[in-house]
Structure 1
Amino acid sequence: MKRFLLLVFLLLNAFIFKASAQQYILSGHVTDQRGGPVSFVSVYIRNTTYGTTSNEQGVYKFNIGAGDYDVIYRYVGNKEQIDHITITDHDVLHNVQMEDEVFQLKTVKAVDKRNRDTAAYTIMRKVIAKREFYLNEVNSYSAAIYVKGMQKLTGAPKKLLTNGVSKVLDLDTNGHGILYQSESISNYNFQRPDKVKEITVSSREAGISPTFSYNKASDLQANFYENLFEVEGLSSHAFVSPIAKNAFKYYRYYLEGATVENGRTIDKIKLIGRNKGEYSFEGYIYILDGDWRIYSVDLQLTNKVNRLNFVDTMKVSQQYIPVQDNIWMPTSIQYNYNGNVFGFKFDGYYVGVYNNYKFNVAFPPDYFNGEVMRLDTNARIKNADYWFKNRPIPLTAQETRDYQKKDSIQRLQKSKPYLDSLQKSKNRVLVIPYTVFGFTMTSRNNKDSLYVYPFNQTLFYNTVEGVGLNLKARLSHTSNDFKTIGITPNIRYGFADNLLSANIHSYYYYDPFHEGHFFLDFGNDVLDLNNVGTRSVYFNTLSTLLSNNNYVKYYRSEFGDVGFMRELANGILFKGTLSYANRTQMFNNSYAHIFTSKTRHYTSNNPLAPDSVAANDRSVLFPQNQALTLNTSVKFTFDQQYITRPTGKVYLPSKYPTLTVNYRKAIPGVFGSDADYDFVSADISQDKIRLGVMGYSSFKLSTGDFLNKNKLYFMDYNHFLGNQGRTFDPTYVGSFHFLPFYQFSANSFYLEAHYQHNFAGSLLNNIGFMRNLKLEEIVGANYLTEKNNKDYREFYVGLQRFIFRVDYGVSYAGNKKYLQGIRIFYGIR
């Protein structure tokens, strides 16, 4: 009997617990006074950190337990509304009609001698004075964040909208349709001053990814209490917050009025950018009077004023709510954008919803270890039922149909006939892309691939080999645990010297989470005497045949090397290589050209021979020799941050300089090795140091010396990334504009320095007709000193737009002017 009563008692408790834990749906439709839907209204439960946002059609949805709730509805331009709702034992439909907000001036508007709205400026001074307090108010917190993104095509030119284009973009007959949808749910963790870790528990994407995306929780952390606001991908410079410490230099403020909501006075401040306003927002900021904190923002950036990339308008809306002990945090943020590219009109949005705030979280000491985001292994395999239960923003009917359609297409794409057809289509060789970029063939499961190097690197001409063929391909295989093995066979033949070269480069990428891989190379090849590279095969062929400038100098190497690389700890990367080579000098054998030049002639393949020496010169640069060389390096990336995906790590740029220490040892006497030297060097560099509205800087410093040079050959010198010819490659800050490829190569102590600054349009912005060109101004300087060539300097200015760049510079060698001229870059190296 006791056992029976105990069983009944347990069953009753289980029933009561289940009933109390039962979730119901609170949903409804939010409209304005005219009956139109109000999109993206913040809806949250009073005195909690649980909230949601209505969708584009004004529909909202909660999963909520039984109880009594005060539900708050907030949207910029409408009165805040609080409704008392009781949930019993069933779902509840609760529609809301929001009233327009009416802001009234508290006093007669007054202006000072500078024609400034004195009331607005008084308010903003108080807000700016409390900026740092609110910035540092919360030491740490965690939150659950839902992010949704969507992009639509709203118009397209009929001439370009062929059946093929419509099919690929999945458009209707009017050229309209959803191009892209994404959503994710993450646990976001923050600790002051800048420690972040985001755990993405679920993620979903459908359609063609847009040029820029903000589908991570960390992408939507817009904090206007910071002085600067950066919109990644839309501009090369930052924008000034309306409450930055120097905001009065960039904004004019106007008090539109005030209103009282639930006993709080809200001031509505209109913002207008000073001067041309490129670095400032337009719109409204709402201030909680007395507390002098942000209540909400409704701001925008426009291409006309702010010179944006890819879009015409970007709007930013953000709502703050009281969460705990008078602490206000964002409940939602939204980016709305639109644009027009070649007549294709589009608009879209990203919206973030913040829930379950927890403050002063005691994170473990090693919790913030550089991993800023981790995508769970199962994050991308959640089914439709999971998303229906867990997404806080309900889908519209159009979005639901789009997901269903793309899911059906995805299932079709996994069928054998489709995969066979797709594989045949994507492995088709297209002549023009192959010429510049090469082509790739992949297996059906994308685990095996073959990449054939482009034609412009296959057929070549130089004065040593004459016309030549360089046949090169890379084969790779990736296993189920994402380990990769690759092999690159290479056959090279020169018709003038009748010399066949063959070699194989291979690697085994065994640890994608720690950059761990082995590599093994062997064979023979024709190599550049400058081991950091000079001109590409393509540009050297052009300069040789068209203008008799045979810049690149070659030698023959029979080699074998084995190496290892791995991350020893976060931010510390080790690499070691042991190589053996038999090196032989080569000479010119071919003197073909397309245009005869009376002022230029081919030079010797000995880079140290005077230009006056005949092209068929046979002077000795170095005897045939052997070298056994140990090469080691350790790279230190301070405060290294990374994203962990199921396939491995993705490393992010550090905000601190990177230090690399190198040691190279030539070991004499082993396997007949002749070379005998020790070389050490150190590099410190950083790319894109943000300087707010003034763009960004990059720099590199390098120094090194030979500790001993008992036996040193020219290819063992320390070489530099010089440049000869009209084109150049500006993608690496450690390169020179005018430095000859070989003349300054060092066999003793050297010091190298590079600095470049991109003003991101902040200078040309002041010239009316230049604004629309969106050009970026660049200035820079390069410096090199070594024993035989002291104090080489370069200074340059340039203009850049996307991949196109033109520089003008001048160089000096010692006290004499060396070279000056124009250098251009158009994306091809």
Structure 2
Amino acid sequence: MVRILLFCWAFFTVLLVQGQRFLKGTVKDKEKRIIPYAKIYVKNDPTLRTVCDENGYYEMGLMPGEYYLVVTAMGYEDREYYLGMGDADVVKDFQLYPPNLKTVEDVVVSVKKSNPGREIMLKVVNKRDSINPWNRPHQVSVYIKASEKLDFKSSGKSKEKENDEPNFDAKQDSLLKSMNLVEVQLERSFAPPNKVKEVRNAYEVHGSSQNLYYTTTVKSNFNFFENLLHLDDLHETPVSSPISIPGILSYRYRLEEKYEENGRMISKIKIIPRNTATTTLEGYIWVIDTLWMVQKLSLTMNKGNLLVYDHFQIEQTFSHPGDSMCVLEKQVLTYGVKYKNETSKASTVALFSNYNFTPKFPAKYFSTELAVTEQTAYEKDSSYWNGIREIGLSDEERRYIFLKDSIEEAHNKKEYLDSVDAVFNKITILKVLWFGVDHRNRVKKQQFSFGSLAEFVQPIGIGGPRIAPNFGYFKKWENQRTYDFYVRSSIGFLNKDPKGVIWNRYRFDPFHQGDVTASVSHEFDVIRGFDAITQIYRRNNFIEATTLRAGVNYELFNGLYVGADLNFAIRRSLKDFKFLELTDAFIPNDSAMVFDPYNASLVSFECSYVPQQKYMREPYRKVVLGSAWPTFSVYYRKGVKNLFGSVIDYDYLSFDIRQNFKLGLLGNSSYRVATGTFLSMRDVREPDLRYQRRSDPIWFSNPLYSFQGLDTTLPTKSWVHEAHFVHHDNGAILNKIPFMKKTRIGLVFGGGAMYVQEHDYQHYELLAGLERNFKLSRRRLRVGVYGCASDGNKTAPRMDFKVSFAILDDRSMKWNF
């Protein structure tokens, strides 16, 4: 019955989509500012509905006809619009208006006595459009000082540790290890609604900047005069601002104190979340009476959805030129995280000065390049910093910088570098047995690596035990170009068969990620490289291949990445190979595939494009910040007959669209849609077929690239269409249950579908699960438990339960799905 219902749903969905036309546009307020996550639905038929994205953009499929549309958003009055839908797509923008603030007050609460705290905040919210400095184009100078103090818990054991650095006085050594400091001086340009460009004039790192936040102004902007704060590298969900109309519905306001300062009355308002499950901030806002402007604020983020830190506090101080707007002068961020044997306490102080609210930006000044740092920014000396530093350093910070500078000067001497290398290059038993032996020359910026004994002896393999020595070489130049070299040889005890690989890569353009690779190998190869763990070890999945490969990758222009690869291989069967059969009694296996040796020449091209990709430019590299657009990819592979004696002859083409985006306070979603087919198949062998991988037992594989309930491995030659969707609520749903926010457990759900044309094979699945993040050393580990219901036109309904483990990427601050 489930199979029939799913098939009917898919069939009628296709029919409806073919007859639909699209209504699209944006939703804005009276000031022409976008309203993210507004809802649009057909009156009297709420099943026809859509939600705007973070840029206020929407799309809605409708059949031709007449409709009355309702547009709604939190903090705005609902509006109805008439629409006559014809046989063409329609572009239509909608506009919403905030309600009368008295009406908001009446809706929010009904009490017998007034609430002066909320009345004051209502007056501030009523003026926020005029007092918001980010409603005006401007330029500003910014000085940032970010510092971190590390407290180490004593393990109670005193043991010698190998160190790449020479020993210092114990007190000095303790200070150097327990502090990190970053200073930045930059010019920031801004134009409404969200155009920004940052030019760093000076940048100095003492120690490590890994745990320090807000060393650039382009990733996050703490603008509390907007409805939502998008802090993607800090918080899993957007944060609702207490100085907004939606905030009036999300927070309670209580007048704590009134006092006079500089001849003006100041009201201290306490901010209290109405529902701690869905509201993040709490703290205080100080308001100047009669002017109804924010003097300063101090707000703390709840721990729940912070990506890395355990606590985070924002303090801002404003000036009021001409009593006309609130201009940010100082921002102090206080944050930290505690690990097993280490506690990090950090703060970032940013001073904003020399505002210019009448800038004249040249044409095309703003672009997808949001920040620029030239090499000279890293070369400023102490006299420069003493002249521009706007915040005094503590005695401890001055001593720390002095020690760091002294050490850096010593570090640049050849004698010191040689002494450090001597320590690093020392051969120890542990290196020989497990880690491998390295030899580094810091002056020449090169390193040699020799494999350990653990790598030398391989007790388990397709052909039994092998010995496999390996060697690596790495070279880096001042302009950040690099060269990698790796060689490994091996021989098996059972078959006396020599194998090996030589691999090279030269990165010739670090900024555009341009590199050239070349390799030659005589190794085992797999036919289904991404099959389930219960299938990939089988002998019929292995062949022997002598391969010559060359490839190049390059970013042609911002967001457009291309790659080309030439692969020549002589493929041989393992039919006469001796296998280790000790485990066959309890781990089922089979025989090697039988075929005559043949040559295969492959040429492949890949292109992916990310429209409007934003990035930061550094002297020799690009820091990609992401895009609001999906990533579009196309892949083409050709088997070239007669090239180097090749017998294979085919053409394969595939397309892929994938994206990750946030749904306001509801969490973040990811999807992937892909399709592919062989355009021609004059001669295709098993290693060149496209396979739909069988699902793993117990293990929850990446749901954007695999299915959880596929009980067979499908080789495919014709069109394969697949779609995947996953949504993480980040606590938006479960946190509404009492005490659930303290558990930090989130809900995830999604699904996938696949259609294989040649087999007329349909597969559908729905999944749901619970996830929680844990600290793992200095990383974040996500553990998930999931249930998956699947069905298809040629399979019986089934239910699977699985688990997964994922590590948060420290660079992108994103999970694998």
1:127-206 maps to which residues of 2 (within 5 A)? 127-131=124-128, 138-153=135-150, 156-157=153-154, 159=156, 179-206=179-206
CA RMSD of aligned residues (A): 3.8
Letter in 1 for 2:805: F
1:505-516 maps to which residues of 2 (within 5 A)? 505-516=503-514
Q: CA deviation at 1:242?
A: 0.9
Q: What residue is the counterpart of 1:817 in the other structure?
A: 797
Which of 564, 569, 572 is 1:576 aligned to? Answer: 564
Aligned equivalents of 1:397, 1:521: Cα separation in 2: 55
Provide closer, same or farther for how the CA distance between residues 817 and 550 of structure 1 changes in structure 2, counting only shifts above 3 A.
farther
Residues 344-398 of structure 1 deviation map (CA, whole Å, 9 limit, x = unaligned): 4443310101122223433333333322222220222211111111111121222
Provide closer, same or farther for how the CA distance between residues 525 and 158 of structure 1 changes in structure 2, counting only shifts above 3 A.
closer
SS in 2 for 1:188: strand
Q: CA deviation at 1:272?
A: 0.8
Aligned equivalents of 2:806, 2:506: Cα separation in 1: 34
Which of 424, 440, 443 is 2:441 aligned to? Answer: 443
Aligned equivalents of 1:554, 1:322: Cα separation in 2: 73
Provide closer, same or farther for how the CA distance between residues 171 and 162 of structure 1 changes in structure 2, counting only shifts above 3 A.
farther
Residues 476-534 of structure 1 deviation map (CA, whole Å, 9 limit, x = unaligned): 22223322222222324444444322232222211122222222222322112125x34
Q: CA deviation at 1:585?
A: 3.1
Q: Is the 1:154–1:177 Cα contact (8 Å) retained in structure 2?
A: no
Q: Does 1:805 align with 2:783?
A: yes
Q: Does 1:715 align with 2:693?
A: no
Q: Is the 2:608–2:632 Cα contact (8 Å) retained in structure 1?
A: yes
Q: Is the 2:150–2:344 Cα contact (8 Å) retained in structure 1?
A: yes
Q: Is the 1:721–1:734 Cα contact (8 Å) retained in structure 2?
A: no
Aligned equivalents of 1:698, 1:454: Cα separation in 2: 41
Q: What residue is the counterpart of 1:500 in the other structure?
A: 498
Residues 109-167 of structure 1 deviation map (CA, whole Å, 9 limit, x = unaligned): xx964588533333333433444565586342221110001122467447379897998
Q: What residue is the counterpart of 1:791 in the other structure?
A: 762
Q: CA deviation at 1:584?
A: 2.4
Q: Is the 1:155–1:176 Cα contact (8 Å) retained in structure 2?
A: no
SS in 2 for 1:363: coil
Provide closer, same or farther for how the CA distance between residues 630 and 291 of structure 1 changes in structure 2, counting only shifts above 3 A.
farther
Provide closer, same or farther for how the CA distance between residues 260 and 729 of structure 1 changes in structure 2, counting only shifts above 3 A.
same
Greater shift in the superposed pair: 264-273 or 393-402: 264-273
Q: Is the 2:503–2:518 Cα contact (8 Å) retained in structure 1?
A: yes
Q: What residue is the counterpart of 1:684 in the other structure?
A: 657
Q: Is the 2:134–2:192 Cα contact (8 Å) retained in structure 1?
A: no
Q: What residue is the counterpart of 2:668 in the other structure?
A: 696
Q: CA deviation at 1:314?
A: 2.0
Residues 414-441 of structure 1 deviation map (CA, whole Å, 9 limit, x = unaligned): 3445433432444567898999987865
Letter in 2 for 1:381: E
Q: Is the 1:240–1:247 Cα contact (8 Å) retained in structure 2?
A: yes
Q: What residue is the counterpart of 1:757 in the other structure?
A: 727
Q: Does 1:238 align with 2:232?
A: no
Q: Is the 1:112–1:118 Cα contact (8 Å) retained in structure 2?
A: no
Aligned equivalents of 1:398, 1:681: Cα separation in 2: 59
Aligned equivalents of 2:313, 2:399: Cα separation in 1: 27
Provide closer, same or farther for how the CA distance between residues 505 and 153 of structure 1 changes in structure 2, counting only shifts above 3 A.
closer
Provide closer, same or farther for how the CA distance between residues 722 and 212 of structure 1 changes in structure 2, counting only shifts above 3 A.
farther
Q: Is the 1:629–1:666 Cα contact (8 Å) retained in structure 2?
A: yes
Provide closer, same or farther for how the CA distance between residues 174 and 517 of structure 1 changes in structure 2, counting only shifts above 3 A.
closer
Q: What residue is the counterpart of 1:370 in the other structure?
A: 368
Provide closer, same or farther for how the CA distance between residues 817 and 462 of structure 1 changes in structure 2, counting only shifts above 3 A.
farther
Q: TM (normalized to structure 1)?
A: 0.74
Q: What residue is the counterpart of 1:36 in the other structure?
A: none
Aligned equivalents of 1:289, 1:435: Cα separation in 2: 72
Provide closer, same or farther for how the CA distance between residues 239 and 717 of structure 1 changes in structure 2, counting only shifts above 3 A.
same
Provide closer, same or farther for how the CA distance between residues 170 and 825 of structure 1 changes in structure 2, counting only shifts above 3 A.
farther
Provide closer, same or farther for how the CA distance between residues 509 and 697 of structure 1 changes in structure 2, counting only shifts above 3 A.
same
Q: Is the 1:488–1:504 Cα contact (8 Å) retained in structure 2?
A: yes
Greater shift in the superposed pair: 809-818 or 458-467: 458-467
Q: What residue is the counterpart of 2:622 in the other structure?
A: 649
Letter in 1 for 2:797: K
Provide closer, same or farther for how the CA distance between residues 392 and 562 of structure 1 changes in structure 2, counting only shifts above 3 A.
same
Which of 543, 548, 560 is 2:548 aligned to? Answer: 560
Q: What residue is the counterpart of 2:705 in the other structure?
A: 734
Q: Is the 1:462–1:550 Cα contact (8 Å) retained in structure 2?
A: no
Residues 68-110 of structure 1 deviation map (CA, whole Å, 9 limit, x = unaligned): xxxxxxxxxxxxxxxxxxxxxxxxxxxxxxxxxxxxxxxxxxx
Q: CA deviation at 1:461?
A: 6.5
Provide closer, same or farther for how the CA distance between residues 413 and 770 of structure 1 changes in structure 2, counting only shifts above 3 A.
farther
Q: Is the 2:175–2:400 Cα contact (8 Å) retained in structure 1?
A: no
- Residue segments in structure 1 that go unaligned for 5+ positions in a row: 1-110, 607-619
Aligned equivalents of 1:177, 1:794: Cα separation in 2: 51
Provide closer, same or farther for how the CA distance between residues 434 and 662 of structure 1 changes in structure 2, counting only shifts above 3 A.
farther
SS in 2 for 1:632: strand
Q: CA deviation at 1:683?
A: 0.8
SS in 1 for 2:716: coil
Letter in 2 for 1:820: D
SS in 1 for 2:378: helix
Aligned equivalents of 1:242, 1:397: Cα separation in 2: 38
Q: CA deviation at 1:265?
A: 5.2
Aligned equivalents of 1:450, 1:173: Cα separation in 2: 29
Q: What residue is the counterpart of 1:590 in the other structure?
A: 579
Provide closer, same or farther for how the CA distance between residues 431 and 310 of structure 1 changes in structure 2, counting only shifts above 3 A.
farther
SS in 1 for 2:418: helix
Letter in 2 for 1:701: V
Aligned equivalents of 2:610, 2:451: Cα separation in 1: 32
Aligned equivalents of 2:481, 2:623: Cα separation in 1: 15
- Residue segments in structure 2 that go unaligned for 5+ positions in a row: 1-107, 774-779, 809-815
Q: Which structure has the larger Rg over C-alpha atoms?
A: 1
Aligned equivalents of 2:421, 2:538: Cα separation in 1: 42
Aligned equivalents of 2:169, 2:350: Cα separation in 1: 26
Q: CA deviation at 1:278?
A: 5.7
Q: CA deviation at 1:292?
A: 4.5
Greater shift in the superposed pair: 159-168 or 676-685: 159-168
Aligned equivalents of 1:636, 1:455: Cα separation in 2: 44
Which of 769, 773, 780 is 2:750 aligned to? Answer: 780
Residues 440-462 of structure 1 deviation map (CA, whole Å, 9 limit, x = unaligned): 65432472234567888775566
Which of 604, 608, 623 is 1:631 aligned to? Answer: 604
Which of 519, 522, 525 is 2:523 aligned to? Answer: 525
Q: CA deviation at 1:330?
A: 0.8
Q: What residue is the counterpart of 1:337 in the other structure?
A: 335
Letter in 2 for 1:601: P
Provide closer, same or farther for how the CA distance between residues 734 and 602 of structure 1 changes in structure 2, counting only shifts above 3 A.
same
Q: What residue is the counterpart of 2:813 in the other structure?
A: none
Provide closer, same or farther for how the CA distance between residues 672 and 785 of structure 1 changes in structure 2, counting only shifts above 3 A.
same
Letter in 2 for 1:709: M
Q: CA deviation at 1:566?
A: 1.7
Which of 729, 745, 752 is 2:715 aligned to? Answer: 745
Provide closer, same or farther for how the CA distance between residues 498 and 347 of structure 1 changes in structure 2, counting only shifts above 3 A.
same
Q: CA deviation at 1:649?
A: 1.7
Provide closer, same or farther for how the CA distance between residues 374 and 362 of structure 1 changes in structure 2, counting only shifts above 3 A.
same
Aligned equivalents of 2:443, 2:256: Cα separation in 1: 60
